[in-house]
Structure 1
Amino acid sequence: MLDTFIRLGRVQIVVAKKDKYAWLEGAPPPPLEEHSIVKHSIISEYIHRYICTLLAGYAWDKLKISIVDGFAGGGKYTNILNDSIESGSPFLILNSVQEAQAYLETKFERSKEVQAEYYFVEKNTEYFQFLTSEIAKSQHIEKLNRNLFLYNSSFHAVADEIIKKISERNKAQRCLFVLDQFAYKDVPFQYIKKVMTQLNNSEVLLTFGFESLQSFLSDNIKSRSAMKRIGLEPYIDWNRLEELKRNGFWHHLIQEQLSLAIKTASGANHMTLFFIEPKKGWSYWLVHLSKQYKARSVMMDIHWDSANKFNGKFSHVIGDGLFGLGFKASKVPKQATFEFDDVMEFDKDGQLRCVNALTKDLSRFIYNNQPLTYQSLLAKIGDLTAATEGSIKEALQNLMNFKEVKIINNETKVPRRTAKQVKANDILSYQQQSLFSFDDLKIMTSPPKRET
């Protein structure tokens, strides 16, 4: 029986101590626990969808992409459930790209080519040798030193070199950095900002041990020094932190301040947080940082789809509709009134609640921000909702049915008949106040169908 349960978008499991994760010649690979299985699934699925999304249309036949694994480890694990040997992040990356290429070949008559380069970094020499040996025994050996490059180094020591190589490869500079650090301090955000600002189409998947900070983070020299070392200190509202600690919301505030600081310090336009909560030990976030809303949308789809894959037990602690980025403590001056305990499950009921709440919130939002294009709406609310784009369109359709909102075709100036037809530059126009108050508005609808 599994000693685990999945709740609140988090994976509950005993986290292995750091010394369990050792790759030594002649010894079996370290254990792969349930929380890592979920994390690996998300990484693998995102790479597959990223490639297939970009090459799905007729405009593109070739995609150049660079994928960096900054904490590669030895590349293999022993599954604790059945003792089978499983892929670590380097092989997950290689296999996901290969599987995406194979899928595209079966789906399209026209040739679709993925031209990927890989940069795998591991600072521990023994682990690096283990990884090198595993690659040498694999089908990917032919890529080594051709489009697969290995670095026996720390990530921050070679980050500038890798960024330079990616920037010189082509103008698009499409890249994904997978930074599965053990703690919160292994990747200073100065380096993440370089990735996000110096490369045109960059994304980062980062693990961040936020909960380990909660035990000591406060407005003092020790805390400020720790945050300064990783580049977050200027982006934390220290006065606000102390204010909410006095009101008994200090755990929530720390999470709020950290999420805001991560997004600001990184230079990303969009961020999603996926919670992984061990049964013992510190909880952490799988953070996705991106520049484009579409990337954020694909990742949010994966969060929802994971509910089906892992028995529908995922949820989000920050609500159904629109909410402030990060965690918002309630009942404190200058704070939103959203309650932390109001949990939205990533299941069918959660989808229904999400659309209903979003319908009310979008009504207010469009009224207060018009004139508004659909593209600007997505840009403004992207980090303020756990909704997929399909759910956003369904909420807009509800408002169209209530005759509160019109979607105007930007080219013909004619209203759209359905929200499914909406285009990026279409205008969202608030028409009139509903006969119902915003708070009384209740939408009866079926859970949103996922768009194909």
Structure 2
Amino acid sequence: MARKHYHWTLGGALPKLGRHSEVKHAVLRNYLVDYFLTLVARPEQDQFRITIVDGFCGGGLYVNEDGGEAVGSPLVILEAMKEAKVKVMTTFNRQKDIHFDVQLICVDANKSALLHLRHVLEARGYGDNLRNGSIELVEGEFASLAPALIGRAKKRSPKSGRALFVLDQYGYDQVPMAALQAIFSTMKRPEVILTFYVDSLINYLSPENLKAFERKTGVTGAVTAADIDKATRGPGWRRSIQSALYEQITRKSGASFFTPFFVRPQKGHGDYWLLHLSHHWKARDVMAQTHWTHFNHFVHYAGPGLDMFSTGYATRIDDDGQPQAAFEFDDLASQSSRIALLEQIPRRIAETPEGIPVRKFFVEQANTTPATESMIEQTLLELVHDQQIEVIGDNGSVRRVRKALKDGHVLRYRRQFSLRLLDKMKP
């Protein structure tokens, strides 16, 4: 498959940005604002430090499908920081200013893209940032530069180990697993936002393409010879490939938490994975909230509840060429999630007769559910009210909890049958 690259020339026409890429940029902006708010919630905090690596930064500006100007990821990141700082001061009613000590490293293999980006940044008032090094432009392939970039991020934040890698690659084979492993094995609080054009890989499968993909990424064994040969493919072959690919990427990356969703283009049949990888459950929860916020752009092809991601994936067009029902992250999906959680959570808690702490329960479910922490907490409170589960305090006694759960509260299954809950679960 010929990979689509963008081209920039100073004074020339801007490249066209697809709707799905605008969606990815909107998600990035929304996530970063919420992420920064989470990082600086303490009123006594006067600064925080982070390194952001934009591994495929592009030339800074595009024209969207409506003919309007669309900013690229470097400006999305910079504008998100400005928005977050304003919100930090107003949301928390801060009297003391806070310093965002952020270094943005923009990487691209296209020299003309970086020249255009520099021109755009200068024109937008970021010239001083370019000169003082808080914004740096680096020419080269991310795969080859990754070790040095990771080393710089670690050296800059040796204690917190905080860094964000935005890896909006062109396709599916430009981010090797070795780079992800290095990120998550050497830093304490790294995060990666990775796009992966999974439908393109599957649609253009051939022995040659597969060999090149495995060599460049280090993801091996997810696709078999039977998957490539149309005569020997078994039923559900697309689902099998996607499930195996997802399992390998998340396991080999070394990330503790991961959130996978499809970005859904309005036209065509090419879905992208948007994978968020991190070492902290809170980062995962912020990203999950972002998906619900942008519900009209995300989709997943599985059922709601606690096991949504554990059975793999199915593409929007199934093996027989038929459209599949999708989990749309809308009001209907929210309601179906609530019903599924009301049914599944008591059974899951019953698997630990002695009880399980609230935080431990959420962390154990995080990687296999679209539900946010808030959604799970509200369901738990409903189950407590309906006497399906009970809450045990520090002294071992049953607590009457109505509005909020604490991390140290222990959840325990009550074996009494509740007709009231059964009635609630009826459609």
Whether the TM-score (by the shorter chain) exceeds 0.5 is yes
Q: Which moved more, 1:41-50 or 1:155-164?
A: 155-164
Query: Residues 327 and 96 of structure 1: is their aligned pair in 2 closer, same or farther, counting only changes over 3 Å?
Result: same
What is the CA–CA distance in structure 1 between the aligned matches of 2:108 and 2:145, rounded to whole Å?
11
Query: Residues 225 and 23 of structure 1: is their aligned pair in 2 closer, same or farther, counting only changes over 3 Å?
Result: closer
Report the counterpart of residue 357 of structure 1 in structure 2. Answer: 340
Q: Tell me the amino acid that sits aligned with residue 33 of structure 2.
A: H
What is the CA–CA distance in structure 2 between the aligned matches of 1:73 and 1:222, rounded to whole Å?
25
Q: Any idea what the Cα deviations from partners look like across 1:154-200, whole Å, max 9, x if unmatched?
A: 11222112211111113102111000101100111110111122111
Answering whether residue 238 of structure 2 is matched by residue 251 of structure 1, we say: yes
> Contact between 2:387 and 2:418, CA under 8 Å: does it hold in 1?
no
> Contact between 1:393 and 1:420, CA under 8 Å: does it hold in 2?
no
Q: Tell me the amino acid that sits aligned with residue 317 of structure 1.
A: Y
> Contact between 1:260 and 1:325, CA under 8 Å: does it hold in 2?
no
Answering whether residue 163 of structure 2 is matched by residue 175 of structure 1, we say: yes
Query: Residues 239 and 26 of structure 1: is their aligned pair in 2 closer, same or farther, counting only changes over 3 Å?
Result: closer
Q: Any idea what the Cα deviations from partners look like across 1:410-436, whole Å, max 9, x if unmatched?
A: x34343433642122221111215256
What is the SS of the residue equivalent to 1:139? coil
Q: Tell me the amino acid that sits aligned with residue 424 of structure 2.
A: I
2:151 to 159, 164, 178: 164
Query: Residues 212 and 388 of structure 1: is their aligned pair in 2 closer, same or farther, counting only changes over 3 Å?
Result: same
> How much has 1:241 moved relative to structure 2?
7.2
Report the counterpart of residue 319 of structure 2 in structure 1. Answer: none
2:81 to 97, 100, 112: 97
Report the counterpart of residue 18 of structure 1 in structure 2. Answer: 4
What is the CA–CA distance in structure 2 between the aligned matches of 1:147 and 1:224, rounded to whole Å?
40
Report the counterpart of residue 39 of structure 2 in structure 1. Answer: 54
Calculate the aligned-residue CA RMSD, in Å. Answer: 2.9
| Higher RCO (Cα < 8 Å, 6 or more apart) | 1
- Where in structure 2 are the equivalents of 1:285-300 lying within 5 Å? 285-300=273-288
Q: Tell me the amino acid that sits aligned with residue 159 of structure 1.
A: A
Report the counterpart of residue 443 of structure 1 in structure 2. Answer: 424
Q: Which moved more, 1:289-298 or 1:137-146?
A: 137-146
2:194 to 206, 209, 234: 206
What is the SS of the residue equivalent to 2:150? helix
Report the counterpart of residue 396 of structure 1 in structure 2. Answer: 380
Q: Any idea what the Cα deviations from partners look like across 1:266-315, whole Å, max 9, x if unmatched?
A: 111111122124433632111111111111111111111113xx5xx754
Q: Tell me the amino acid that sits aligned with residue 406 of structure 2.
A: K
What is the SS of the residue equivalent to 1:32? coil
> Contact between 1:119 and 1:150, CA under 8 Å: does it hold in 2?
yes
Answering whether residue 384 of structure 2 is matched by residue 406 of structure 1, we say: no
- Where in structure 2 are the equivalents of 1:222-301 lying within 5 Å? 223=210, 226-233=213-220, 236=222, 247-278=234-265, 279-280=267-268, 282-301=270-289
> Contact between 1:185 and 1:230, CA under 8 Å: does it hold in 2?
yes
What is the CA–CA distance in structure 1 between the aligned matches of 2:225 and 2:140, rounded to whole Å?
39
Answering whether residue 100 of structure 2 is matched by residue 114 of structure 1, we say: yes
Query: Residues 178 and 368 of structure 1: is their aligned pair in 2 closer, same or farther, counting only changes over 3 Å?
Result: same
Query: Residues 419 and 38 of structure 1: is their aligned pair in 2 closer, same or farther, counting only changes over 3 Å?
Result: farther
Query: Residues 423 and 139 of structure 1: is their aligned pair in 2 closer, same or farther, counting only changes over 3 Å?
Result: same
Answering whether residue 139 of structure 2 is matched by residue 152 of structure 1, we say: yes
What is the CA–CA distance in structure 1 between the aligned matches of 2:313 and 2:272, rounded to whole Å?
19
- Where in structure 2 are the equivalents of 1:61-80 lying within 5 Å? 61-80=46-65
1:88 to 59, 67, 72: 72
What is the CA–CA distance in structure 2 between the aligned matches of 1:443 and 1:201, rounded to whole Å?
41
What is the CA–CA distance in structure 1 between the aligned matches of 2:402 and 2:226, rounded to whole Å?
40
> Contact between 2:166 and 2:192, CA under 8 Å: does it hold in 1?
yes
- Where in structure 2 are the equivalents of 1:297-316 lying within 5 Å? 297-307=285-295, 310=296, 314-316=298-300
Q: Tell me the amino acid that sits aligned with residue 202 of structure 2.
A: Q
> How much has 1:111 moved relative to structure 2?
2.5
Query: Residues 419 and 206 of structure 1: is their aligned pair in 2 closer, same or farther, counting only changes over 3 Å?
Result: farther
Report the counterpart of residue 407 of structure 2 in structure 1. Answer: 424
Answering whether residue 114 of structure 2 is matched by residue 128 of structure 1, we say: yes
What is the SS of the residue equivalent to 1:369? coil
What is the CA–CA distance in structure 1 between the aligned matches of 2:395 and 2:418, rounded to whole Å?
30
> How much has 1:240 moved relative to structure 2?
11
What is the SS of the residue equivalent to 2:49? strand
What is the SS of the residue equivalent to 1:115? strand
Report the counterpart of residue 415 of structure 1 in structure 2. Answer: 398
> Contact between 2:55 and 2:107, CA under 8 Å: does it hold in 1?
yes
Q: Tell me the amino acid that sits aligned with residue 223 of structure 1.
A: L
What is the SS of the residue equivalent to 1:177? strand
Answering whether residue 422 of structure 2 is matched by residue 434 of structure 1, we say: no
What is the CA–CA distance in structure 2 between the aligned matches of 1:77 and 1:239, rounded to whole Å?
40
What is the CA–CA distance in structure 2 between the aligned matches of 1:232 and 1:251, rounded to whole Å?
17
> Contact between 1:356 and 1:395, CA under 8 Å: does it hold in 2?
no
Report the counterpart of residue 19 of structure 2 in structure 1. Answer: 34
Gaps of at least 5 residues in structure 1 are 1-15, 331-339, 447-452
What is the SS of the residue equivalent to 2:351? helix
Query: Residues 291 and 166 of structure 1: is their aligned pair in 2 closer, same or farther, counting only changes over 3 Å?
Result: same
What is the CA–CA distance in structure 2 between the aligned matches of 1:17 and 1:154, rounded to whole Å?
15
> Contact between 2:391 and 2:410, CA under 8 Å: does it hold in 1?
yes
Report the counterpart of residue 318 of structure 2 in structure 1. Answer: none
What is the CA–CA distance in structure 2 between the aligned matches of 1:109 and 1:347, rounded to whole Å?
38
What is the CA–CA distance in structure 1 between the aligned matches of 2:300 and 2:401, rounded to whole Å?
29
Report the counterpart of residue 175 of structure 2 in structure 1. Answer: 187
What is the CA–CA distance in structure 2 between the aligned matches of 1:137 and 1:435, rounded to whole Å?
65
